[in-house]
Every structure is written in C-alpha cells, then in structure tokens.
Structure 1
C-alpha cells in the first residue's frame, strides 16, 4: 500500500543538531515570529508521556557483499543497458512487473489489490514488501507476511495490523553485466575511484552510509511511536485539523485539474476510492498530523528548544537539496512557520534518539513463502 501524498512540506532528516550555548545566534528567526500553537494551552489537549530514556532496537549496519554489488550496479547504471532477466531471482535495483492481492484477517483488503511496475528497494510500499521479493524469479508467486505501520495515516483502521500479500512477479528487468577491469574503471575518469578495488571501497562506504541512515530512520520511527502512544489526548483543535485537511484537498484538486478531472473522478481513477472515503481519510490523516504537531510543540516548550542560525541554515540546505531547489526559492515559496516546523521536527527527532537507549535486536526470521506459479499472468 503506497503512502498518501502529504500537502505539507516533507520534513528532512538532519545528521545532527548543535547544542544550545550562550554563543548561539538566533538572527534568522524573525523578531515577530510566534511559536506554532502559542495561542493554545496545549495541556488542554494532551498530557505528555515519556520521551526521554526510551529504548529502541539497535540495528546492525554491517555492509554485506550483496549491498556492495547493488551499489556498484547503481554507480555504473549509466554504462549499462536494461535487459529481461530469466536466470536469477530479483535483486535490489531491478525493475519488476508485479500483480498483488492483500488480505487482512483472511478477508481480501479493499483497495489492496492491483498491478504495478516497481523498482525493487524504492517501491514506496510498506516495510518488508521489497525485501520479501528479493530472490523471487519471474513467473513465481510469493506470500509476504507483513504488518502495517502504526500509525498508518492512509487508513487508521489498518494501523499495526498483520497483512498478507500474495505477489506474483510477472517479469524482471535488470542492468546488463559489465566486465569490470581496472582499465574500464580508469576510463570512467572518476575522482572517487580509479580501480576495481577503489570502486568496491567507495561502494562499501556509500552502502554503510545508507545502512546508518536506515538504522537511524528505524530508531526514529520506533521511538516516535512510543512517544505518541505514551501521550493522552483529550481533544484536538478542530480549526487546525480543518485548515490542514482543506490545504491537502486544495493540493489534490490542483492535481485533478492538471488531469482535467473532477475531484470525484480523480478519487475513483487515481486513488481507487470514492470521494467520501477519500475525504474521510484526508481528515483522519490531518487529525493524526495535528496530534503529532501538538506533541512536538509540547516537547519544544518543555525543553525550551529553539533553532539556532546554524541549525536553520543546515536545515534549509538539506531541504533545498531534497526538493531540488534553492534556499532562496524555499524562503520565497513558503511561510517561515512551515520551514521552521520542518527543521524543528528533525531537531526533536534527533533529540529523542540522542536521549534514547539502544538495545540489542532479538533474532528474527523472514516470513516469506515462495512457490512456483503457473505460467498464466
């Protein structure tokens, strides 16, 4: 199941936050800037639970040879051609044509079936979906036993629920093999590597960075879920929820207009549901996000956190890079409050991880049953 598109600016993960000291500068924050939700007494809406000293699973970031090979394939993708793969199972980076059906509690999942073409490793489906398809060959079917995220904004009724996906891999396309020699690598004239050994070392370095980022993301997700679950909500500011939902619907209407569709047609054709169902999901998503913002600002107030100029600059550079734009364009297109919340969000997540307690991961087994399918699509 793919994630709903958020109308809010996506937060970007900072690699670290500077400690507040008497030497910090705050000139980038306008003098008339009011903290978000400063007009509300947040204690009327939420009672904070624990957010410091929480345990999270420590993830092994050791790089495997398969990861190095996948990274090399990525680095050399401009020098290869894509071909139909029939003699091996799917690997990360391959393009897969799939057909899938989802089941929850033995019942077929509404809007949980379809066909798609995905790049393995970046499909956008829930955690474990891509990993479960590694090694599956073309014209094989596999059963993936997964769990929806908690919370799951697309459909809050599915949050944390076990789901079974039956996935048929119709075809696999992957990059053609390259005869790696020092002569070939030297001819690429890359500063980062000039030999095969140098290429492998560079690929290992990049793979390690990916593993560390992935481990950090999982720690953030695990800890933030614990933070939210430990909070007690009495209500949410209805105006904030309404404004957030209206903003999202305006974004979706713009998408619909681009395709010359009414919102009803857009929901049916592009989202796979009727307008009323989609509207209710948008409202649920908006409420979930407002709850998170309330918790965010409650922690900001409790810890008296502010953004230094250094943190603001680093955050803006990171957002600009991920949005493929410039800091100047971001500052022109977005209100300061939106940018501030995006950067502060990452600072809070870093704060929670830095104050968390890593614990060794328990041994787990991958649950995926692969069987030979008939040749019918």
Structure 2
C-alpha cells in the first residue's frame, strides 16, 4: 500500500531541466590496443547517451522511486541529482543538505577505523565535529557495528559497510536523501530498520529519491514513480502504473532478446561452411618453420592463416595466443590492421608479421577463426599449434626485455 503524502512545502527541492549525459566508450580496452590500432582509433570510440533530455521536478516531502531495467540510466540520473557528475547538457538544481548512498563503501577509507570514517563522512555531508559528537552514539547503535567501530573498515563485510554508511547518512539531518539499491545488501532486520527510518523521514517532510529493482519496495514507500527506458522517461506519476509500465518493458526486452538469439543462430547456421580455417603456419624471418627450437627474444614471426572460402561472404580472420591456463596473451585480426579479406571462393593465405617478439611464457597455444563483421562465428580452429619461447635469463613475466642495470655509489644523506 502506498504511503499517503502529507501536506508539504510545494517548492521544488530538485529541478532537472532538459539534462542529458554522454559517455565515450572505447573499444580498445588496453594500452596495447590503443598503440596497435592507433590509425583507426576514431573508429574504436563511440558516444553512449545514458540520459537524453530529462526534465522533472521533485517537490519537498515527496518520495520518488526511480525504476527501470539495467542500463536504463537510473543510477546516472541519481548521480546527476546528487552532484556526483555533471550533465553534458541541461541543468540540475537542488537545495538543502544532501545525503547520498550511491555505492557500497563510497567515501570510506579502508585503512581508517569505523569511528574515523564516521567523522570524515559526516564532515563531507556538512556536519561539524561537535554536531557529529552529538549523534555519534546514535550512529553506532543504528548501524549495529558495536565494538567493530574501532576496526579498520577494510575488514568489514558488505553488510557492515552498508549499515554504517546508511547510519551516517540518516543522522546527518538531510533535506534530501538519495539511495541507490544499497539497502538490498543488508539483512532483513536492518532493511526493516531502514524502511522505518525512511517512513520517519516521510512524516518529517523530508525528500527521498530511491533507486530499487524491488517493485514491492517502491510500491510500499514511494509516492511517485519515474520509469526510465534507454535514458528517457517513459512514465512519471502513479506508482502502480509505473510498475505496470516497467513490467511491460521487461516482457518486451525478453521477446526482443529471444528474437535476436534466434536470428543469430539462424545466421550462424546459414553461414556454416562458408569459410574453413585449414591451418596456421608460423615462420621465422629466414622463412623456417618456428617451433623446432625455443624462439629467442627479439625474433620476428609471421603467422599465416590458410583459409578456404567456399561461398561468397564478408568475413574477418585472425589468431590468438593463449597460455597453457587459457589466458589470452595476444590476439590480432584483419579488421585491426584494416585488411580487406577476399569474398570470392578460393584458397587464401592471410599473413601477419610480428617483429621483435618478446613473450615471456615458455609455451603459447595458437588458435584461429573467422567471423562476420558483426561477430557471427563462421569457423574456428582451436589448438592449431604451439610456440615455445626461450626463458628470460634476467627477469620473468608475460613479456621479456633486454634489461640492463647499474649500481652507483651515492652520497649519504645526513
């Protein structure tokens, strides 16, 4: 049953005006990728709009539930409201003291005690030391931390983190409380204690914005629901209607995911046999087959994938080097080097040359494959061979270096 909203000041405590938030996604996940694919870096970046043209006002005393499926923009909007991040465009206005529980353990220093973190977090929320002294015992009692308040928080469980963080937030006398899903970590008695505190805040006319995946929790405590879908508001108003819209979205996504899975399976079935990966040959700079002897550091290697195109198809191919435990050490494909693979039926040799290789693993397993540009697998050749590398006489690790060192006498510092 929804909590009935009491008479409150109707002046908006939060005003979000046409706010959008963009993030830049990098497909090159490592420094190695950024160097290797430097010429095509612009192609490896894309814009992701987590929020688009969001406008809403929250009046003092309302309890607003932000709901939506994963990736809909709920937490991003909550961070905008809390001032954690700035919008790419638009504006977010708020007034009063804000207490935010946006991430487990956020703002806690792991090497400090619970007591020290209470005072630090309270100061961040705007409390003076004297004000924190007055509520310190209440914070400890509410959190249930007890004697562990003097222990470094890096030894706390996730539940202890949440209990202490929530206790500090609700005792900081906030006008606006922001809560992002963290209550799901605590045990049932603590969750009930938190719900009681939220209801107490409601009676006092404070404003709460709650992100939760629990429809029952939102229906129980919220007076208004905002449903986000792909960064846009699709419902703003009645809680029951908002939950209905949310569940319709879940069903729509389920149907779409099932259709995509069927389409991918159909595409893979249609393309099966379009390309065969016959073998992977590895040769040294002098044209000899690699593998008869351990490969010395600094050698140049050419990997030649022998492929057969049986029917016309747009495809890419490449190879992967893995450790004996299955860890990917290196991979390279025609897309990364901007090589156009032939589509006409026939046999082809696709070569990749790695100059001055310095792998530090004694043995690497070679695999190769072919797929379409959108990731549908056409062919795979697992365990196509292996390479043995001479051990690094000076150091150890995934890579080797021509390492040097020096020892010098230095003047003693008094």
Q: Same fold (TM over 0.5)?
A: no
TM-score tier by shorter-chain length is under 0.3
* TM value normalised by structure 2: 0.21
Q: Which has the higher strand share?
A: 2
Q: Which has the higher helix share?
A: 1
* TM value normalised by structure 1: 0.22
Q: Which has the higher contact order (CA 8 A, sep 6+)?
A: 1
Greater radius of gyration (CA): 2
